[in-house]
A and B are shown apart, each in its own frame.
Chain A
Amino acid sequence: MSAGRPKAAALIRTAAPPVLLVVVVLISLVIGKYNVSARDIAAVIGAKLSGMPSGLPPTVETVIWNVRLPRVACGLFVGASLAAAGTVYQGLFRNPLVSPDILGVSAGASLGAVLGIFLSLPVLAIQGLAFAGGLAAVGLVYMIGAAVRGHDPILVLVLAGVAIGALLGASISLLKVLADPYNQLPAITFWLLGSLASVTRGDFLSVLPAMIVGLIPMVLLRWRVNLMTLDDQEARALGIETTRMRIILIAAATLMTAAAVSISGIIGWIGLLVPHVARVLVGPNFSRLLPASLLLGGGYLVAVDTLARSMAEIEVPLGILTAAIGAPFFIWLLMTTRRGWQ
């Protein structure tokens, strides 16, 4: 009897993320500015999958198939990617305060996108520059980390990330000062606040491969990530090549983060907050933590994005909402939970 209870509780904890996710996605699909019924949505999805005409007006089809579904899907994958990257970074750096932007990936992506807007490039080029900027920034940080000897390698990485992040932030500010205040500056500001308002199916399909490629090593190496939370020497004693592992995992997490922010702009707090919630639910074992983080991150961003697009007629930038909800929740979590992250 008494042994059944914790088991049931653990089951609920494990089942909560997927159930929440499904509920959130269903709610999100039927809420929107353009009035379409749940039946229309089912009809359009069914028709597209079977290749038959749905018999609905083309605009309704566009809204469902080209606007709302890609937006929910993007929310799902962007949230999942940021949360997964956060989980990996927190494990790798043995620090619960680490988030995906710690190595400068967000700052690099921001600089890339801001440069694209500043040069009035087409949207695809702006996204491409954001992606490249994110990867380049982390690459630079890693090179600095590899060049510095005689210090704790993890500490060096974090400090190099802070320094490069600050430098990139200054460059963004410089471009903002130089930008045309009537056209480019508002566009830059909106981009830096993050939004899924303008994502398309093309955007989704173009970043999906990068996200999956990033996820594969995390899944394959899930057992060894646990060992990476040990001291480098202990991990090596257990036969883990820490340096190579770190490079692979950082590259994977960076790829996912850069892909996410290249289409959504900067969305903070997900990568920091969600791994904590997941840890409270399923514990620190990475092979259970990763799926929980993915599901919770995706569900959380879809929920916040639904709020962002239904609160007012205008779009409330996601970065504002994730911080406004995330920061107080994070503090509450710190005050009420006792489970450590290890």
Chain B
Amino acid sequence: MNRRGFLIALGLMLQALLFSPQMAGAETRAFVDAAGRKVEIPDNVHRVLAAGPPASVLLYALAPDKMVGWVREPSADEKAFIAAPYHDLPAYGRLTGKGNTANIEMVLKMKPDLIIDVGTVDATYVSLADRVQQQTGIPYILIDGSFAKTPDSLRTLGDLLGVKDKGEELAGYADATLKRVDAVAAAVPADKRPRVYYGRGPKGLETGLAGSINMEVLGAVGAANVAEAAGSGGLANVSLEQVLSWNPEVILTLDPNFQASVLHDPLWAGIAAVKQGRVYRAPTLPFGWFDSPPGVNRLIGVAWLTSVLYPDSHVDLRTETRDFYKRFYHVEVTDEQLDGLLAQSSAKP
């Protein structure tokens, strides 16, 4: 084959690669995603790829049968809370965001009908979505992942994936949860709002500033993030002196080491939260209750946070947890598992 013939053949192959999915898919419909991008989506979606962890959780809750895999392989501890056929799905890496680890060829090999990403919708994510869509020919949609929009995102995706009933059920649950917590928070006078510090990192001196996606649940339950005084943005380091001067009434963390040490650490002893033993660890299995990832998994975190911040609110956490895990994670949680899950989630004297 001469060079010209080779180039033409190459061009044809590329064309086939780029345009075949649309041609092969029988019926499509136009969908306008959260960024206002108009995307052609097949009427019947069978295989969906989540671009990042929040999308993964949303997809797993709504339509686990349509998942092509996990962004990251669940650990053994996480697998215990993920329904049996799904926890062994393959892992393919993150497609967007910091630390893009997915291989485009691997994505193509998964043969998804649709790629979804849930989270921040901004120019960066729009251009990433456009690029991947162009490169693979697979429709790629963005869904607003902010916590207040949780019911919307459940409904939208449920409709899109042909699981409208499930979407409506979960959205109704989310609506009810948000409404209930609004009522609890509204009953707390503005000057009595719990002042909370969220300590991340091994020493607990990493925190989320105002507007950080990691802190959204805090606002939802009507608590004040003491680190808002330090400005807005994402995660930042603060000094212990700073935390001492904020003197939070409640400390939240994800790290069992930090939780265990802070209660006996003379350096932290002067802080109101430590004096009153109000240092709480959010459960993290199979997905974080407070953030990590910032997805629909945070809905159960709202119930938990309400129970620890407002002890008078009478939340039956065990029943709620069972119900939530059944609805969203498709598992029946045993008493033993519940004990383990909630073991360190409240403060110890």
A residues apposed to B, CB below 8 Å:
32-35, 58-59, 62-63, 66-68, 71, 116-117, 120-123, 126, 176-177, 180-183, 185-187, 190, 195, 197-198, 200, 309, 312-315, 317
Which of A62, A120, A195, A197 has a CB less than 8 Å from the CB of B244?
A: A62
**Given A34-B241, A59-B244, A120-B255, 12 new contacts (CB under 8 A):** A34-B245, A62-B267, A62-B270, A66-B266, A67-B240, A183-B292, A186-B201, A197-B205, A197-B239, A198-B240, A313-B229, A314-B237
* Beta-carbon contact of B209 and A314 below 8 Å: yes
Whether the pair A186, B235 counts as a contact (CB closer than 8 A) is: yes
Do the beta carbons of B270 and A186 come within 8 Å of each other? no
Residues 292-320 (chain B) with a chain A CB within 8 angstroms: 292-294
Q: How far is the CB of A7 from chain B (nearest CB, A)?
A: 45
User: B270–A315 contact, CB under 8 A?
Assistant: no
B203 touches A181 (CB 8 A): no
The one of A35, A68, A177, A197 that contacts B101, using a Cβ cutoff of 8 Å: A177
Known pairs A183-B292, A315-B236; A34 contacts B244 (CB<8 A): yes
Contact A182:B255 (CB < 8 A) given known A33-B242, A63-B244, A200-B267: no
Cβ–Cβ < 8 Å partners of A190 in chain B: 201, 206, 237
Q: Which 7 A-B pairs have the closest CB atoms?
A: A313-B230, A59-B270, A182-B292, A314-B236, A315-B237, A198-B203, A33-B241
Using A62-B267, A312-B230 as known contacts, say yes or no to A187 and B240 having CB atoms under 8 A apart. Answer: no
Contact indicator per residue, chain B 230-260, by CB within 8 Å of chain A (1) or not (0):
1100011111111011000000001101000
Interface residues in chain B, defined as those with a beta carbon under 8 Å from any beta carbon in chain A: 53, 72, 94, 97-99, 101, 200-203, 205-206, 209, 214, 229-231, 235-242, 244-245, 254-255, 257, 261, 266-267, 269-270, 288, 291-294
Chain A residues near B94 (CB-CB < 8 A): 181
**Nearest Cβ distance between residue B228 and chain A, in whole angstroms?**
10
Contacts of A34 in B (CB 8 A): 241-242, 244-245
Residue of B nearest to A314 (CB): B236
Q: Of B206, B236, B239, B288, which is within 8 A of A187 by CB?
A: B206
> How many Å lie between the Cα of A32 and that of B245 in the bound state?
10
Known: A182-B292, A187-B202, A197-B205. A123 touches B241 (CB 8 A): no
Contacts of B267 in A (CB 8 A): 62, 66-67, 200
Would A122 and B257 count as touching, CB distance under 8 A?
Answer: yes
Taking CB atoms, residues of chain B closer than 8 Å to A116 are 202
Q: B residues within 8 A CB of A67?
A: 239-241, 244, 267
Q: B202, A185: Cβ atoms under 8 Å?
A: no
Chain B residues with Cβ under 8 A from A197's Cβ? 205, 237-240
Docked pose: A67 CA to B231 CA in angstroms: 23
Contacts of B97 in A (CB 8 A): 181
CA distance A198 to B241 in the complex (A): 10
- Tell me, in angstroms, the Cα distance from A314 to B291 when the chains sit together: 21
A182-B237 CB under 8 A given contacts A62-B269, A313-B229: no
**Which chain A residues border B294 with CB–CB below 8 Å?**
182
Docked complex Cα distance between A114 and B72 (Å): 19
- Cα–Cα distance between A67 and B98 once the two chains are bound (Å): 34
